[in-house]
Amino acid sequence: MQISIFGMGYVGAVSAGCLANDGHEVIGVDPNQTKVDLIKKGQTPIIERDIGEMVAANTASGRLRATTDVGDAVRGSDISLICVGTPSQLNGNLDLSYVRRVCEEIGSAIKEKGGFHVVVARSTMLPGTMRNVVIPTLEQYSGKVAGKDFGVCNNPEFLREGTAVHDYYNPPKTVIGESDPRAGDLLVKLYEKMDAPLVRTDIEIAEMVKYTDNNWHALKVAFANEIGNLSKALGIDGHKVMEIFCTDTKLNLSPYYMKPGFAFGGSCLPKDVRALTYKGRSLDLDLPILNAIMPSNQCQVQKGLDMVLAYGKKRVGILGFAFKAGTDDLRESPLVEVIESLIGKGYDMRLFDRNVNLAALTGANRDYILNHIPHISKLMVESMKEVLAFAEVIVIGNGAKEFASVLDQLKPGQVVVDLVRIVPNKSEAGRYDGICW
């Protein structure tokens, strides 16, 4: 395939070398004449393991060339990759001036070109940038329509400096956000030999995936550092702690807890976070991430409450109020906090949870209900049917399978507030409201 790559910086140069090495005809484009001249001489414009040899070999073979002429590059290619920088402004927002400029230039070139050209953004851009900046600019300068006359994709890269060539050929995933299937089909051909999951999705999701990845990596580094600092203060080897932590791929490094939804609760997580942060304070340690966990969790409790309050309807039913499905444990259940707030505001409520049956409860759970939240026990009913017959707003509080049928049983005027994603639906105004979707 014939490919033009705009921006011969870190991502662009690595992409150019690897794609040419795969047998594609690649044109590197950059306004910096020095970078263009280096590639023409078979030299790499960046320092990165293995890329120098690739540039030299593929320049010699004719599969890789470089130019400052945008029109020549677009005319000579089927697909253009945007790999220009998106540096931070002083306020933290992105500087999109390079992106805008290159879109203006590519759009102008597409205007004069026949056939279906695909423009792919590899540059890291916030969600909405493709729709609000890239596509409008391309359409304005080309006089053509994205998804019809030319294609647009977002294709985030997952390259680490120092191991970029290895990462290119061994990606954790390949993500393609596409304006239309035709554009996506062409881009997929670049990755046919990759042994990695291929995900084709909406453009905005692809944009957000890149930021989710990088912020998660940053959080992991900072989290490990705080655990290390606390461990050292306690005379413990933090490296050994984290080595053992990372051997657990069933819970610690897994999708298990990594799903947006409501706040955590139960008898373990809140208690243990508080205990560890208290220990940090007693040692005069600054642990901003660990100290932020409980306030962040409380924000999610408040968000769930605010969603119910926003409807202004006084009859509220709660389906599932143990802290998770399959348990009768109400201790530190975030739903209990929501229920108590609603009661305090004068809401009329009915509660159902098959596992929370007062007659069957024993020990700590029974004592907790009778002595700490007796007012809640009086609102419990025997069936989901009773809640549905009563409530104007129905809150799904945990993932018990029986609650999945609720949407099929709604009466006109009833609305569901879903805190667990009991169904895969997106939010639908006036009928179904997911807390994070």
Catalytic residues: 268
Strand partners, 146: 150
Neighbours of 170 (CB within 10 A): 12
Half-sphere exposure of 392 (CA within 13 A, CB side): 12
3-state SS, residue 373: coil
Size of the chain, expressed as the number of residues it contains: 437
Question: Using CA atoms, how far apart are residues 285 and 227, in angstroms rounded to an integer?
Answer: 11
Alpha-carbon 19 to chain mean position = 27
Closest CA to 314 of 419, 416, 411, 390: 390
Strands 79-82 and 64-67: unpaired
Tell me how many degrees the CA angle 393-397-398 measures, rounded to the nearest 5. 145
CB–CB of 216/257 below 8 Å?
no
Question: Using CA atoms, how far apart are residues 81 and 167, in angstroms rounded to an integer?
Answer: 18
Sequence-ordered list of residues with C-beta below 8 angstroms from that of 353, at least 6 positions apart, any chain: 318, 319, 320, 321, 322, 328, 380, 397, 398, 400
Q: Dig out the tokens for 286 from the structure.
A: 């600054």
CB–CB of 419/395 below 8 Å?
yes
Whole-Å CA distances, 38 to 28, 34, 50: 11, 6, 16
SS (H, E, C) 122-143: CCCCCCCHHHHHHHHHHHHHHC
Whole-Å CA distances, 204 to 93, 200, 377, 403, 434: 17, 12, 45, 30, 19
